[in-house]
Copies of this chain bind each other. A is one copy, B any other.
Amino acid sequence: MASSSTFRNLDPAKQDRILDEALTEFAAKGYGQASLNALVGRLGIAKGSIFQYFRDKAGLFRLVFDFAVGQVKDHLRAVRGQTQGQDVFRRLEQSLVSGLDLIHDNPRLFRLYLRIVYEGDVPLRGQLLQSIRLFSRDYILELLAEGQARGELRPDLDPALAAFVVDAVLERFLVARSLENMDAGLGLYAAPPAEAARLARELVELLRRGLGAA
Q: Show the binding face of A for B, using Cβ within 8 Å.
A: 28-30, 32-33, 114-115, 117-121, 125-126, 129-130, 133, 158, 160-161, 164-165, 168-169, 171-173, 176, 179, 182-183, 186, 188-191, 199, 202-203, 206-207, 209-211
Contacts and interface: CB of A to CB of B under 8 A. Distances in A.
A129 B176 contact: no
A183 B32 contact: no
19 contacts: A29-B121, A32-B33, A33-B120, A33-B121, A115-B118, A118-B119, A119-B119, A126-B186, A126-B188, A129-B183, A133-B188, A133-B189, A161-B199, A168-B168, A168-B173, A169-B169, A171-B172, A172-B172, A210-B210
B121 A114 contact: no
A209 to B, nearest CB: 5
A67 B181 CA distance: 28
Contact of A120 (B30, B169, B210): B30
B164 A117 contact: no
Given A118-B119, A133-B189, A210-B210, 16 more contacts: A30-B32, A30-B120, A117-B118, A118-B118, A120-B182, A125-B183, A126-B188, A130-B188, A164-B189, A164-B199, A165-B169, A165-B203, A168-B172, A169-B172, A206-B211, A209-B210
